[in-house]
Amino acid sequence: MGKDPLSDEEIAARLAKLPGWTREGDTITRTFGIRYHGGVALIVNVADVERLIGHHADIDLRWGHVRFGITTHDAGNRLTAADFDLAARIDRIAAAHEAQPHNA
């Protein structure tokens, strides 16, 4: 997956295809509501995929929700196509865990 930084226009177009993800500077984030132990299982499944594709999110587990933040560190902490690929994968894994959109 491409690790060249995307333009603001490309980022906006890709975000439009990923409901629930928001841009915070050069990071895209999404929070899912899920019980604590379910969140641990979700994180383990995401980590397995991350290891296989060689790209990782910053993950914050709290009581009742999990927040993912994605940027490409080896592209100068800029957004790349790899970030949006990982976000789509996280969405599919979260759906399989019945995680819910969260407003935190």
Q: Which pLDDT tens digit goes with each residue over 43-78?
A: 999 999 999 999 999 999 999 999 999 999 999 999
Just give the CATH number of 8-101: 3.30.1360.20
Predicted confidence band of residue 103 (pLDDT cuts 50, 70, 90): low
Give the per-residue pLDDT at 20.
96
Helices (H) and strands (E) in the chain, counts: 3, 5
Residue 102 confidence class, pLDDT cut points 50, 70, 90: confident
- Residue 54 confidence (pLDDT): 95
Average pLDDT over residues 5-34: 97
Delimit the domains of the chain by residue range.
8-101
Q: Which residues pair with 78 in a beta bridge?
A: 72
Whole-number pLDDT of residue 12: 98
104 and 31 in contact (C-beta within 8 Å)? yes
How high is the pLDDT of residue 25?
96
- The answer for residues whose C-beta is within 8 angstroms of residue 8's C-beta and 6 or more apart is none
pTM given for the model: 0.95
